[in-house]
Structure 1
Amino acid sequence: MENNATSEKRVAVVTGGNKGIGLEVCRQLASKGVVVVLTARDETRGAEAVLRLHASGLSDVMYHNLDVSDPSSAACLADFIENKFGKLDILINNAGVIGATADIDTTAPLQDVLAGKDAMERLQWLLQHSTETYQEAEECLRINYFGTKYVTEALLPLLQASTDGRLVNVSSNYGLLRYFSGEDLKQELNDIENLTIQRIDEMSRLFLNDYKDGQLKSHGWPADAEYIAYKVSKALINGYTRIMAKNFPALRINSVHPGYCMTDINYDTGELTAEEGAGSIVMVALLPVGGPTGVFFYRNDVAPVV
């Protein structure tokens, strides 16, 4: 257990914290006096990220290995947090994958190719060069949805040990229900009074079965555009967030779309910087006591999930 001076500080865990938005979230939280546990699957990259933050004067950041798709890895992290701090004040589930592969000619500087294009045109260009396989869709659900769930379940008792526990799930406007083609699925995912986590788990399996069988459109899933699995994974995260907020009213549990940011997941085609995107996530994480819970933030503002 940490000494009293440290235990009085808020403690945060950030998944996927070694680069991009996750690294900026770690930097901004640490600069506000929060003790940050930066987690990443790759130990070398995670440790290097922590050293860079230390070099910038942010000493209250430490690394811990985490593979979000492995429940035993999440349990190991929970043991570490419990033994070192006895509680967790903030959990930010940021780790994720896009669930697609971009076929891009890297011999030409990408910024030259994208010169003169606005953010929407850059996104459309990226979509036109992207393909998605069943294996990538399966990985996308395993990391984005189940990974969020595994880490949350492992760390939930420690969040409950905080006097003001916060859970922020990084989502996307691609998770809005308007992308679903079937009204029944939309209504079910928006019916938080009756929706259960077990049903969301089942939905993820049904989606993958329908993906494999070519039944996406006929069964109401997003089917007319790219990043299909990503859209489903983020819609499931939004539903999971709202259910958890209902089940654990003492905690502040929200999801947030940080904006279309320039990160390596989208080949830096975004319109916002990683720092700007992280700012929205940190804002939600540090909302005043008694702030909203169970809502979806579109950057800094509460927005509908439909």
Structure 2
Amino acid sequence: MAQTTILITGSNQGIGYEVAKQLLSHPNTHILLCSRDKSNGQTAASTLDPTLSRVDPITLDVTDDTSIAAAAEYVQQKYGKLDILINNAGINQEVEYMKEKVKTLPPGSNPLLDIHPSGEDLRNLYRRTYEVNVFGAGAVTESFIPLLSNSARPNIIFVSSHTGSLTLAETGSTTFQGRQVGEAKFKLPSFPIYRSSKAALDMLLLHYANRFGAKGWRVNGACPNLTATKFSGGMGRPASESAVNIVKLCFLGDEVKDGVNGVLSDEEGVVPW
């Protein structure tokens, strides 16, 4: 069986690292573990595979076009193709901002509802968040399309979020395709920068699904749920649980009836846009 080459952005820690770990349990998978910090990437790769025979650490900063181009050139020279691209790198700058501002709130305040960045702070938060979550994902995807085109079964996965769903933002919890999806908290007017970036990412997902679906590509999005990582400040469920659906999306079938394209999902089913 041919080797399946899988590139994961932002995978030296958190969900991306756990996805890489679980993918190694599948035969013939080869992980391109991407990190913007070379040392962190090498440490993570060596921890997953001390021989580095199935994990290749690659320095890739999704906000740096030179870094993206260098990574694509490296993959081209060494592998000649890419089978699966997982756009996992993401940030939530509002969390860090709130940690500082919450110290100034009066007792009984709700940080989610009572902290509203403005002026230069607001603009900078939008810029930094979108640079990674949207612009970075788009730039990486475009740069690796030629390598994905060399695969027998190209697959792109965007790591999105329930909190980016417009439907859940409007309704909170809702019945969708026979199951209860979402929670009432999704209707709260919270984290507008992060949530809007994930909604924008979903549009990128649909763009590429429509662009390449007729050619047999698989392009889908995964909603991992709140996960206990550095990203979330340790709140949420284990990364091992949040990685499950992302790994599942890596192994969709060749035939249309065996797979899906242009769908946002979690491990229980489809998530509404």
Q: Percent identity?
A: 32
Aligned to 2:174: none
Partner SS for 2:243:
helix
Distance 1:155 1:300 in 2: 30
Contact 2:32 2:56 in 1 (8 A): yes
Contact 1:30 1:58 in 2 (8 A): no
Superimposed CA distance per residue, residues 240-278 of structure 1 (whole angstroms, 9 cap, x where no aligned partner): 1111111112210001101221111111111x2101111
Contact 1:170 1:258 in 2 (8 A): yes
Aligned-residue offset at 1:296 = 0.6
Partner SS for 2:244:
helix
Distance 1:131 1:65 in 2: 35
Distance 1:274 1:224, change over 3 A: closer
Alignment of 1:33-182 (within 5 A): 33=27, 34-55=29-50, 59-100=53-94, 101=96, 102-103=98-99, 127=112, 132=117, 133-178=122-167
Contact 1:130 1:226 in 2 (8 A): no
Question: Of the candidates 263, 282, 290, which is equivalent to residue 247 of structure 2?
Answer: 282
Distance 1:162 1:43, change over 3 A: same
Return the TM-score normalized by structure 1: 0.72
Aligned-residue offset at 1:224 = 6.6
Distance 1:22 1:131 in 2: 30
Contact 2:88 2:158 in 1 (8 A): yes
Contact 2:113 2:189 in 1 (8 A): no
Distance 1:60 1:29 in 2: 10
Amino acid paired to 1:136: L
Contact 1:16 1:22 in 2 (8 A): yes
Superimposed CA distance per residue, residues 133-156 of structure 1 (whole angstroms, 9 cap, x where no aligned partner): 321221101110010000000001
Aligned to 2:175: none
Cα root mean square deviation, aligned: 2.5
Question: Of the candidates 240, 258, 263, which is equivalent to residue 295 of structure 1?
Answer: 263
Superimposed CA distance per residue, residues 150-183 of structure 1 (whole angstroms, 9 cap, x where no aligned partner): 00000011111100011000000111113667xx
Partner SS for 2:252:
coil
Amino acid paired to 2:41: G
Aligned-residue offset at 1:58 = 7.1
Amino acid paired to 2:99: D
Aligned to 1:32: 26
State how many pairs are aligned: 239
Alignment of 1:190-229 (within 5 A): 225-229=189-193
Which ranges of structure 1 fall in alignment gaps of 5 or more residues? 106-123, 182-221
Q: Are 1:11 and 2:5 counterparts?
A: yes
Moved over 6 A (4+): 128-131
Contact 2:226 2:232 in 1 (8 A): no
Partner SS for 1:240:
helix
Aligned to 1:114: none
Distance 2:187 2:161 in 1: 17
Amino acid paired to 1:158: L
Which ranges of structure 2 fall in alignment gaps of 5 or more residues? 102-108, 171-185
Distance 2:9 2:38 in 1: 13
Superimposed CA distance per residue, residues 78-135 of structure 1 (whole angstroms, 9 cap, x where no aligned partner): 1111111111000000000012124179xxxxxxxxxxxxxxxxxx987479765321
Contact 1:39 1:64 in 2 (8 A): yes
Contact 1:53 1:59 in 2 (8 A): no
Distance 1:142 1:104, change over 3 A: closer
Return the TM-score normalized by structure 2: 0.80
